[in-house]
């Protein structure tokens, strides 16, 4: 690809690396060409991270993550379907706006994830019928959208993932994080998992809030970007 012999790191995070970093606002106003590594805390539709990937694609550049992968990763049913096809352990789920259907399918407790693209804190647990009605109404934006529901079978854990690496996390959790990155190439995210019977199962993926990024997270992320830039990407 013409003009794509260099790596362009576009990030809204203050990375501690010798690799040159371009701010999203600068990149979106430019016609910079290269292999674009989009390091952002939020790639949801209509957020800055999404537009960075979209701008790169409009320019004809390769980009990580692609807009398709970013959109798919945040939509829980698509996330789970694609991840399962790539060998990631997942739990059963249904997509519906019917509380009756949910109760007919799964015993309590359950985890309810938002499917609508506008939710940030996109899940709730429900241990009874009343809580389930509340969750479906809230996450479905007053029943305008369906929800994705999964049985809660073990410990529910959330971990930060940076290029598929997470710390802390046991071996099974780390394996899921690595597999999710291989499938979707989302550099920065929060993963939700269930752990039971000695296995970790993917449940959902969400953006990280900037205030959730600790100095040690930024250090790890910076090292990952430096490692990425040392691979010698070429078009």
Q: Which domains does the chain have, with CATH numbers?
A: 7-67 (no CATH), 72-89+154-217 (3.30.470.20), 94-151 (3.30.1490)
* Per-residue pLDDT band at 231 (split at 50, 70, 90): low
Residue 233: pLDDT above 60?
no
Percent of the chain with pLDDT over 90: 84
> Nearest CA to 182 among 75, 58, 88?
88
pTM for this model (two decimals): 0.92
Please give the pLDDT value at position 119.
72
Q: How do residues 48-72 score in pLDDT, each as one tens digit?
A: 999 999 999 999 999 999 999 999 9
Please give the pLDDT value at position 49.
97
Sheet with 123-126, edge to edge strand ranges? 94-96, 147-151, 110-114, 123-126
Residue 5: pLDDT above 80?
no
Q: How do residues 198-209 score in pLDDT, each as one tens digit?
A: 999 999 999 999
Please give the pLDDT value at position 209.
94
Please give the pLDDT value at position 6.
86
Residue 234: pLDDT above 50?
no
CB atoms within 10 A of CB 113: 26
> Residue 152: which residues within 8 A CB-CB, separation 6 or more?
109, 110, 111, 125, 194
> Nearest CA to 188 among 211, 168, 204, 166?
166
Q: How do residues 118-160 score in pLDDT, each as one tens digit?
A: 776 689 999 999 999 999 999 998 988 999 999 999 999 999 9
* Per-residue pLDDT band at 170 (split at 50, 70, 90): confident
* Cα 185–chain centre separation: 9
* Per-residue pLDDT band at 227 (split at 50, 70, 90): confident
Please give the pLDDT value at position 116.
81
* Per-residue pLDDT band at 235 (split at 50, 70, 90): very low
Please give the pLDDT value at position 2.
41
């Amino acid at each position: 690809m013409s003009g794509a012999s260099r790596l362009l790191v576009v990030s809204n995070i203050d990375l501690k690396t010798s690799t040159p970093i371009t701010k999203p606002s600068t990149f979106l106003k430019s016609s910079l060409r290269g292999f674009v590594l989009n390091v952002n805390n939020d790639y949801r539709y209509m957020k800055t991270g999404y537009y960075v990937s979209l701008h790169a694609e409009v320019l004809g550049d390769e980009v990580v993550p692609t807009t398709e992968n970013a959109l798919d990763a945040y939509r829980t049913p698509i996330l789970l379907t694609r991840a399962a096809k790539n060998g990631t352990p997942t739990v059963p789920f249904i997509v519906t706006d019917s509380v009756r259907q949910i109760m007919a399918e799964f015993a309590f407790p359950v985890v309810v994830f938002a499917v609508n693209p506008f939710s940030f804190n996109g899940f709730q647990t429900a241990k009874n019928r009343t809580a389930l009605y509340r969750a479906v109404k809230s996450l479905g934006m007053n029943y305008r959208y369906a929800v994705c529901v999964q049985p809660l079978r073990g410990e529910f854990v959330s971990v930060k993932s940076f290029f598929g690496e997470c710390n802390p996390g046991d071996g099974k959790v780390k394996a899921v994080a690595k597999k999710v990155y291989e499938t979707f190439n989302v550099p920065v995210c929060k993963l939700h998992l269930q752990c039971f019977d000695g296995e970790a199962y993917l449940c959902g993926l969400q953006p990280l809030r900037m205030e959730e990024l600790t100095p040690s997270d930024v250090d790890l992320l910076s090292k990952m970007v430096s490692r990425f830039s040392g691979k010698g990407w070429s078009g």
